[in-house]
Chains A and B, each alone.
Chain A
């Protein structure tokens, strides 16, 4: 596409020192789109950039591309080792010989619009604030902050479609995601059914429950009531609402784990006996504080707000009187794998079954697995043998469907 440019050099050379099954050292690349992007809300931005990583090789007829969509706090760094030595968030799933085999597929990880890992988001300069009165270059400018348009899953998918255009991919072999990432896979199948052969929808839901939204609202309130939030324009004050982010992450983290696993891992274990105070006495308190501290050190508060709103808003059936089967009717030609985990109380198996029921009502090709596993919502990121075996079996099918051999 003529209105896009690519900076930084491309990716993924299999380095000598890569551990087996790893795509090795990876370098992200920034893709620029020099055309206005209009959000579902009606707001628009004049141009944007998406940070991506790719692994594997796009074949001659561009048929082996798979898009991996991230959930709340992840990024384009899906697999391999980045410049900081960090492993990708789905490295156990994606790599040479892994269930999602990069020897076969060309895999794309993308940081979504509004994100905080390089793609255009709240911490970037809002072009509307640039001073263009000077004789030469634009100067000044303030970060978008709270003025970044509210994003929806539909917006992300539309931006990803522009990315696919840019990469010359007419039809993805598969779009895959877990949780919020799976909502994007579902939305791909609804909005661009002719551009996706398979959708892998893992640990997801067709819409958030009141309880889900409630947890998100607690997280948002923690952030916006932090004195350092400054109405979302904290960048200009040189601060971050770290306490708000900490609490937001702590609340979120509780919902990702099952009661049993939390009990098993931490129980009522104390760090140093009872102190009769408000320090981190129980191990679980210490763990949550650690998770919160870590998170607030790297994640952007405005992005957190945006992403939780995107979660809350997702409801493809809304425009069809709540009828999910009607909403999914356009996706009839797409093949689905839906997976849920029995102990996931955030997006329970019943929610995945709603998706499956809507698909079967449309006679859509779908397979569904309900995996009896202990870890709750987080299970989708873990190396569960049965889950990974199913993913591998399904990717074999994806591979066959694009005429793959060997």
Chain B
């Protein structure tokens, strides 16, 4: 199973890619966790001239990422990021990977330890059409949540408010938030009206003591 398991098929361009590209400074040194077939890193390489590594657990994805020409490291994210030093990346990417992880709190600490900042995208369970499906008696299935309840890798779905609570709890500041529905930004009540959220987060200043500042 891929840990980058938000959407079926990594080969197509996902709606969060361009948003993420807009949040990444050109030439950044990047760690893409759950990089799948390497499509995001390849895109960012072209669009923003970034360099860095993707981390992926799945054999077929590792091969696909090799073929995509990116640096891919086969590893289980649940084992943590111990091999990477503090602030060793300009930015850590977690593109629709978070909801498939088990130890989310630990991972949030880790990504903001090894990255000066992190960009996290995830599907919003409270998106109104999802909610409607639940009201009609079924678990939501959509382009962004393409799995049945019994075969989904998404073990930790959340809402925008849930995610922001967790950021608060683990000492992260939200530097930027873009919420999408049908690929377009949503500003009106995004917790209900967006299906996908992209956050740029970093350690709160009081938690940054001792770390290199930008």
| Residues of A bordering B, CB below 8 Å | 337, 353, 356-357, 360-361, 363, 365-372, 386, 389-390, 393-394, 396-397, 400
Tell me the complex Cα distance, A369–B65, Å.
Answer: 11
**Extra inter-chain contacts (4) besides given A367-B71, A369-B74, CB under 8 Å:** A367-B73, A370-B75, A386-B59, A390-B63
Tell me the minimal C-beta distance from A210 to chain B in angstroms.
23
Residues 66-97 of B, flagged 1 when their CB comes within 8 A of A and 0 if not, give 11011111110000000111001000000000
A370-B74 in contact (CB<8A): yes
* Contact partner, B71, options A366, A389, A396, A400, Cβ 8 Å: A366
* Contact partner, A393, options B67, B73, B75, Cβ 8 Å: B67
Tell me the complex Cα distance, A167–B73, Å.
Answer: 35
In the complex, which residues of chain B have a beta carbon less than 8 angstroms from the beta carbon of A356?
A: 73, 83
B66-A360 in contact (CB<8A): no
A393-B66 in contact (CB<8A): yes
In the complex, which residues of chain B have a beta carbon less than 8 angstroms from the beta carbon of A370?
A: 74-75
Tell me the minimal C-beta distance from B59 to chain A in angstroms.
5
* Contact partner, A368, options B63, B73, B84, Cβ 8 Å: B73
In the complex, which residues of chain A have a beta carbon less than 8 angstroms from the beta carbon of B85?
A: 361
Q: Is B29 an interface residue (CB 8 A)?
A: yes
Tell me the complex Cα distance, A130–B213, Å.
Answer: 69
Q: Is B62 an interface residue (CB 8 A)?
A: yes
In the complex, which residues of chain B have a beta carbon less than 8 angstroms from the beta carbon of A393?
A: 63, 66-67
* Contact partner, A386, options B53, B63, B69, B84, Cβ 8 Å: B63
Closest partner residue, chain A, to B69 (CB atom): A397
In the complex, which residues of chain A have a beta carbon less than 8 angstroms from the beta carbon of B53?
A: 360, 366
- Most A CB atoms within 10 A — which of B67, B72, B74? B74
A394-B66 in contact (CB<8A): yes
Tell me the complex Cα distance, A360–B84, Å.
Answer: 8
- Most A CB atoms within 10 A — which of B62, B72, B84? B62
Residues 142-171 of B, flagged 1 when their CB comes within 8 A of A and 0 if not, give 000000000000000000000000000000
- Most B CB atoms within 10 A — which of A367, A370, A390? A367
Pair count A-B, CB < 8 A: 51
Closest partner residue, chain B, to A340 (CB atom): B74
Tell me the minimal C-beta distance from A375 to chain B in angstroms.
16
Tell me the complex Cα distance, A3–B71, Å.
Answer: 42
- Count of interface residues, chain B, beta-carbon cutoff 8 Å: 20
B29-A363 in contact (CB<8A): yes
Tell me the complex Cα distance, A178–B140, Å.
Answer: 49
Closest 4 CB pairs of A and B: A393-B66, A357-B83, A368-B73, A393-B67
B73-A360 in contact (CB<8A): yes
Tell me the minimal C-beta distance from B60 to chain A in angstroms.
9
Tell me the complex Cα distance, A171–B147, Å.
Answer: 50
Closest partner residue, chain B, to A372 (CB atom): B59
Tell me the complex Cα distance, A397–B70, Å.
Answer: 10
Closest partner residue, chain A, to B65 (CB atom): A367
Tell me the complex Cα distance, A397–B83, Å.
Answer: 26
Tell me the minimal C-beta distance from A267 to chain B in angstroms.
29
In the complex, which residues of chain A have a beta carbon less than 8 angstroms from the beta carbon of B74?
A: 368-370
In the complex, which residues of chain B have a beta carbon less than 8 angstroms from the beta carbon of A367?
A: 62, 65-66, 70-73
- Most A CB atoms within 10 A — which of B29, B53, B73, B75? B73
A360-B83 in contact (CB<8A): yes
Give 18 CB contacts A-B under 8 Å: A353-B83, A360-B53, A360-B84, A365-B71, A366-B71, A366-B73, A367-B65, A367-B72, A368-B72, A368-B75, A369-B62, A369-B66, A386-B59, A386-B63, A389-B63, A393-B63, A393-B66, A400-B69
Tell me the minimal C-beta distance from B17 to chain A in angstroms.
21
Tell me the minimal C-beta distance from A385 to chain B in angstroms.
10
Tell me the minimal C-beta distance from A167 to chain B in angstroms.
29
Tell me the complex Cα distance, A372–B51, Å.
Answer: 28
In the complex, which residues of chain B have a beta carbon less than 8 angstroms from the beta carbon of A390?
A: 62-63, 66
Closest partner residue, chain A, to B72 (CB atom): A367
In the complex, which residues of chain B have a beta carbon less than 8 angstroms from the beta carbon of A372?
A: 59
Tell me the complex Cα distance, A368–B70, Å.
Answer: 11
In the complex, which residues of chain B have a beta carbon less than 8 angstroms from the beta carbon of A368?
A: 72-75
8 A Cβ contacts from B34-78 to A: 51, 53, 59, 62-63, 65-67, 69-75
Tell me the minimal C-beta distance from B69 to chain A in angstroms.
6
Tell me the complex Cα distance, A366–B84, Å.
Answer: 14
Tell me the complex Cα distance, A353–B67, Å.
Answer: 21
In the complex, which residues of chain B have a beta carbon less than 8 angstroms from the beta carbon of A357?
A: 83
Tell me the complex Cα distance, A397–B84, Å.
Answer: 25
In the complex, which residues of chain B have a beta carbon less than 8 angstroms from the beta carbon of A397?
A: 66, 69
In the complex, which residues of chain A have a beta carbon less than 8 angstroms from the beta carbon of B29?
A: 363
In the complex, which residues of chain B have a beta carbon less than 8 angstroms from the beta carbon of A389?
A: 63
Closest partner residue, chain A, to B82 (CB atom): A357
Tell me the complex Cα distance, A363–B28, Å.
Answer: 12
Tell me the complex Cα distance, A393–B69, Å.
Answer: 9
Tell me the complex Cα distance, A61–B74, Å.
Answer: 35
Tell me the minimal C-beta distance from A206 to chain B in angstroms.
14
In the complex, which residues of chain A have a beta carbon less than 8 angstroms from the beta carbon of B72?
A: 367-368
